[in-house]
Structure formats: structure tokens, C-alpha cells
Amino acid sequence: MNKKEAVNLLRKYAPNKHVFRIVLDHSKAVQKLAVSIAKKANADVEFVKTASLLHDIGRFRFPPGPESIKHGIAGGKILRKEGFPELARVAERHLGAGILKKEIIEKKLPLPKKDYVPRTIEEKIISYADNLVYGKTIKTSEWAVKRFRNEIGRECAQRTQKLNEEIKSLINKNKKQRK
Ligand SMILES: [Fe+2]
């Protein structure tokens, strides 16, 4: 899927132009950051370009609010139905630094009981970038950790911290290899 097709797919599920714009602008900001990281980390740049545009396609069903946590799986459902299981996994796994089955059970979260954790490097990059992009503004990785500590809890903050370190070390490793 190319960039234009990804935008068209996003538009197909938007209830109106206004909401489409909000999600598209956020997704483009995530895309910009994610692509720059993907290049540095030697990841699949073309995949990251498309996947970042579609990671929040479930937002149209579950906008920020009490059921916000469901927007990942809602996006996954859409993307799987459209025939893109790899993109579906990005949407399902992009929240924070992932959600564990254990947390779903303990906190009685309204999600099917399984792990939703970014596994591939591309999935990790998109989660990382999404954590740093608040609306359209780019924050620091420390800001993201602090935000999750306050809003969700210590465990989520620790996992985010670990993801931040993993992305940074990946960038450094590739930097050294290029020298
Ligand atoms: Fe999201």
C-alpha cells in the first residue's frame, strides 16, 4: 500500500472531515518522527510510512475518552478486514509501550485477554514515536514516561522507559556501524 492509498483508507472510516483532519494531522506528525527513526535504525521505512498513517484508524470508533483504550483493537479489526494483518498488529500494539494480558486481568480492562506488545522493530518505532507526539507536538521521551507514570502507573512508565532505551540504543548501534 502506498501513502495515498493509506490516506484514502483512513478517510473511508472517518465519520466527518473535521475528525479525519485531526487524526490525519496527528498521524502525519507520528509518521515524520517514525520515518526519521526508521532510517537511522535501518528498519523498513516504506512499511513505517504506511503503518504510521493508519495506526490510529480505530480512533474514529473510540476517540479520546473513557473507551479510548479500545481504539487499538478497533483499528486492528478494520485493518484485518481490509486484508492488512501486519498493519493490524501495529494498531493493536501501539498503545503506550504495549498492554499485557496480566494488566488486562488485574485492572479489568475492556480488552480481550492477551498481550498487545510491540514486537517487530517497526512496531516498536511507531509506538515510541506515537508516545512522543502529543496531538501534533513533539515532546521528549522523558515527558512520555512521566505522563504514563501519572496517568497509568509505574509499570507502564517502566515499560515505556525500556522501549525508549531500546530505540535509542538501536539508533546508536547503527550509527556506529555506518562509521
Ligand atoms: Fe493511538
- Tens digits of per-residue pLDDT, 117-127? 999 999 999 99
| CA 121 to centroid of ligand 1, rounded, Å | 18
> pLDDT tens for residues 141-178?
999 999 999 998 999 999 999 999 999 999 999 888 87
Report domain extents, the chain: 3-178
2 Cα–ligand 1 center, Å: 21
From the CA of 95, how far away is ligand 1's center (Å)? 6
What pLDDT score does 162 carry? 97
Ligand 1 centroid from CA 175, angstroms: 29
Cα(71) to centroid of ligand 1, in Å? 7
Report the candidate in 1, 2, 60 with the shortest Cα–Cα distance to residue 26: 60
List, for residues 3-40, the tens digit of each pLDDT value.
Answer: 999 999 999 999 999 999 999 999 999 999 999 999 99
Neighbours of ion ligand 1 (CB under 5 A): 56
pLDDT, position 177:
81
> What's the CA-to-centroid distance between 102 and ligand 1, angstroms?
21
**Direct distance between the N- and C-terminal alpha carbons of the chain, in angstroms, rounded to an integer:** 33
Which residues, in sequence order, are CB contacts of 113 under 8 Å at separation 6+? 101, 104, 105
Supply the pLDDT for residue 95.
95
Q: What is the spatial distance between Cα 72 and Cα 52, in angstroms, rounded to a whole number?
A: 13
Q: What is the pTM of this model?
A: 0.95
| pLDDT tens-place string over residues 48-71 | 999 999 999 999 999 999 899 999
**95-109 pLDDT tens trace:** 999 999 999 999 999
| Calpha distance 74→88 (Å, rounded) | 9
Q: Tell me which fold the domain 3-178 belongs to.
A: Hypothetical protein af1432 (1.10.3210)
User: 165: left (phi > 0), else alpha (psi -120 to 50), else beta?
Assistant: alpha
Cell of 119: 514486537
Would the pLDDT of 179 be above 70? Answer: no
* Euclidean distance between CA atoms 63 and 103, whole angstroms: 22
